Amino acid sequence: MTPEVAVIIIKGLKYIGAGLAMVGTLGAGLGIGILGSGAMQGIARNPETAGTIQMNMILAIAFAEAVAIYSLVVALVILFVG
C-alpha cells in the first residue's frame, strides 16, 4: 500500500467516525420531541401547573441539547484534531 492510499483511507475513516459520533444527536432530537409532547399533554390536562411544567420542560430540553452539542464537539475533534 502506498502512502497516498494510506492517507486517503485514514481520511475516509475520520469521516466515518465523525458521522458515527453525530448519531448522538438523534437521541437528543427524539428526546426533545418527546419532552415537548409530554409537556403539552400535561398542560392540557392540568392548566394550573403550566408554569411548573414549562420550567421543568425547558430544563430537560437544555440537558438533552447538551448531549447533541457534545456529539458535535466529538465529531469536530475527530475531523480536525486527529
pLDDT digit string, tens, across residues 19-53: 999 998 999 999 999 999 999 999 999 999 999 99
Dist CA 53 CA 60 (whole Å): 11
Give the model's confidence band at 82: pLDDT under 50 very low, under 70 low, under 90 confident, else very high. low
What sign does the CA torsion over 18, 19, 25, 27 have? negative
Domain 3-80: give its CATH architecture: Up-down Bundle (1.20)
Average pLDDT (59-70) is 93
In the chain, what are the domain boundaries? 3-80
- pTM value > 0.85: no
Give the model's confidence band at 12: pLDDT under 50 very low, under 70 low, under 90 confident, else very high. very high
